[in-house]
Structure 1
Amino acid sequence: MASHLRKYRIAIATALATTLLTPLPATAATASAAKRAAPCTALRDPALATQLSRDIRAALAARRGTVSVAVHDPATGLSCALGSSHRYDTASIAKVMIMEAALRRAQDWGRGLTAWERRKIRPMITRSDNTAARRLWDDLGQPYVARFLDRAGTTATTLNPYGLWGLTRTGAADQLRLLGVLTGARARALLSPSSRAYGLKQLNEVRRDQRWGVPAGMPRGTKAYLKNGWLPRSTHGWRVHSIGAFTGPGPGPDRNRTYRIVVLSHDNPTMKYGVRTIERVAQAVHRALNKGRVAGQESTPENEISEVSDGSVPPEAPPEASSEQDSANR
């Protein structure tokens, strides 16, 4: 009897230890904590920062999953950072990084893009072609891409050790920096005007069925330069990301305003759910930054949102160990 009792106590203790030590999955509670701390600052317009912080929280109030937001608008000095510590599998937004690395390499070698590079970059960006992305990735080599990320000032982006570019890990602030390589104040240090113009042209010509996400709510007369990623996996459900830069009339005499929006998410039950979450945030940002201007793009109709992966990661790829660790550390 004593022996059986000892075994029972050991079994109970083991079960309790296992329960306590098992990482908790990302849940609505995790997302809610981030939503409450959606900090926006704007030295030249504190009221704008207060309003947008409130509007972002409202946009995410009833949404499940884990969401990170980064916004920068030089015209008002506005910066927003929500969920800065979260990291995500990039899926197809990694293609912006690959394109920029190819543009920088051409400059390093004192030449323009080759015909072969142009034939890979355009379909990789405008229709999210994965074969073109893989061939460019292999041609660049992972060490060169890593050096480019260092030059771009990223601090939380790591390349997959098995060479799977779609499983590059990143955060919203780093994606804002990478958009800034094409549009930000530091862009001149990395890419020539012609290289930046070429890269922006590709992002502006992403095909219609892939123009969901951060353009939602942008005003008429504004141009969008964007890339999206959408990938379901066995851990963290759907990754649904949208990153974009926007140019158009600004406040007051500023007629050449450029601002950037990044929304990254995972733990979405479906792609449609993730797209709708991103578009609620984007509409709040565009509305706050463009008071009185009429929206030129509405939410994407649900029947136009596919539930098919972007194919950036092979189905047989193993789960990322770092994904599990990120969840445990939140």
Structure 2
Amino acid sequence: MEPTRTGRGRRRVVPSAALAVAVALLGVTGAGTGYVTAPLSLATWPVSSSASGDTGGEAGVDGADGTAEAAVDHDALLAEAMTAVPVPDGAEVSVAVLDPDSGRAASYGAGPFETASIVKVDVLATLLLRAGDEGRELTGEETAQAAAMIEHSDNDATSALWRTIGGAQGLDAANARFGLRETTAGEDGLWGLTRTTARDQITLLRQVFVAKGSLLDADARAYVRTLMGRIAEGQRWGVSAAADGSAWALKNGWLRRSTTGLWVIDSVGRVTSGGREVLVAVLTRGGATREAGISLAEATARAAVGVVA
């Protein structure tokens, strides 16, 4: 899924979940690059300025039951788990995972990667943040566009909301407030070419799924989660492979680059595994086919969630 051109506009927030618009998906094109396997420490993950020191942590934090957990290098465990994930020649993968309750976190790979359609969660979060600043609710039109954008990955709806939030400048401004320090909005209306890291995507997911430190109010967070739990049939792949049954809320992105013919396949969201709710972000590129990219994303999600859950 990819971008189109932009303009300007604005509006906003917490609508009724009753509105949903089904729209056909568009295919797209755009470039991939080299392969990095070094794990990244989550100790330095950025959080929003209002996060009150709640960083998502690394090993050695207290568990959810208040008992001290032995120091564990979860990055190393994830790197070891990734040795069992078959990565096609020329492909790249990066993943980050966080159990908000226990603070266990891990990351693998580097970036940045193209977002493709996972940027749509960022667009909606930005829309809700701006609406909250303006003290208003989303209009009926914005609500319909948001549902189409998240549930059906509709590109026209995304382009309309991209203009509403002020395009690249608006997204970058909101991301600075959210604490996304490794994400740059796509220029010239090409929102699908926004570049990000798996770590930044976990920071964004925290805004949606974790109350503490979030700049979004409870209604706004619930609205985004609801839409991410209603993904259309045929788009429920990716991080959902690591979930127990249907216990997931996600957004996927897929983009065939015109310069290489290779695929960007990304998947982000929350899954419940073994009774624990886990945030996970998987970014891939360089797959020869869409199916190969999806298989890599799903195997990576299972490996990562297994390390913390």
**Category of TM-score, reference length = shorter chain:** 0.7 to 0.9
- Cα distance between partner residues in 1 of 2:180 and 2:174: 9
C-alpha deviation, 1:47, in angstroms: 5.4
Alignment of 1:90 with 2:115, yes or no, is yes
Residues 1-39 of structure 1: CA distance to partner in whole angstroms, max 9, x if unpaired? xxxxxxxxxxxxxxxxxxxxxxxx845xx35xx1x6477
Amino acid at match of 2:247: K
Partner of residue 158 from structure 2, selected from 119, 133, 158? 133
Alpha-carbon separation, structure 2, partners of 1:99 and 1:249: 30
Counterpart AA for 1:149: N
Q: Percent identity?
A: 35
Amino acid at match of 1:89: E
d(CA) in 1 for partners of 2:187 and 2:87?
36
C-alpha change, 1:277 and 1:38, in structure 2 (3 Å) is: farther
1:248–1:106 distance in 2 versus 1, CA, 3 Å: farther
8 Å contact from structure 1 (residues 228, 242) kept in 2: yes
Question: Which amino acid in structure 2 is aligned with residue 265 of structure 1?
Answer: T
Give the one of 59, 68, 79 matched to 1:42.
59
Pick the aligned partner of 2:133 from 108, 119, 138: 108
Tell me whether 1:238 sits opposite 2:263 in the alignment: yes
Asked whether 1:184 is paired with 2:210, we answer: yes
Larger Rg: 1
Offset from partner CA, 1:63-85 (integer Å, 9 cap, x none):
6411111111133332112123x
Q: In structure 1, what is the Cα distance between the partners aligned to 2:87 and 2:70?
A: 25
**Residue of 240, 243, 247 corresponding to 1:215:** 240
Counterpart secondary structure, 1:104? helix
| Cα distance, 1:109 vs structure 2 | 0.9
The answer on 1:157 being equivalent to 2:145 is no
Q: Which amino acid aligns with 1:56?
A: M
> Map of 1:283-298 to 2, 5 A cutoff?
283-290=302-309
Matched, 1:276 2:301: no
* Structure 2 contact 287–293 (Cα < 8 Å) conserved: yes
Deviations 1:96-149 (A, max 9, x none): 011111111111111121111101000100000111111111122123222111
Cα pair distance change 1:187/1:227, threshold 3 Å: farther
Hey, what's the Cα distance between the residues in 2 that align with 1:37 and 1:249?
25
Gap change, CA 1:161 and 1:48, over 3 Å in 2: closer
SS in 2 for 1:58: coil
Q: TM-score, normalised by structure 1?
A: 0.70
Give the whole-Å Cα distance in 2 for the aligned partners of 1:264 and 1:127: 20
Which letter does structure 1 place at the counterpart of 2:170?
A: Y
Deviation, structure 1 residue 208: 2.1
Higher RCO, 1 vs 2 (CA within 8 Å, ≥6 residues apart):
2
What do the CA deviations read for 1:219-240 (whole angstroms, capped 9, x no partner)?
24x6211000000113452101
Residue 214 of structure 1 aligns to a residue whose secondary structure is: helix
- 2:244 and 2:272 in contact (8 A); partners too: no
Other-structure match for 1:260: 279
- Structure with more of its chain in helix, by fraction: 1
Relative to structure 1, the CA distance from residue 241 to residue 215 in structure 2 (aligned partners, 3 Å threshold; closer, same or farther) is same
Q: CA deviation at 1:62?
A: 6.0
SS at match of 1:74: coil
- The worse-fitting range, judged by mean Cα deviation, of 93-102 and 138-147 is 138-147
CA distance in 2, matches of 1:97, 1:217: 22
Q: 1:198 aligns with which of 199, 223, 227?
A: 223
Partners of 1:52 and 1:166 lie apart in 2 by: 28
Q: When the two structures are superposed, what TM-score results if normalisation uses the length of structure 2? A: 0.74
1:56 to 82, 97, 101: 82
Distance, in Å, in 2 between the alignment partners of 1:187 and 1:201 is 20
Judging changes above 3 Å, is the alpha-carbon distance between structure 1 residues 248 and 284 closer, same or farther for their aligned structure 2 residues?
closer
Contact 1:64 1:267 in 2 (8 A): yes
Equivalent position amino acid for 1:199 in 2: V
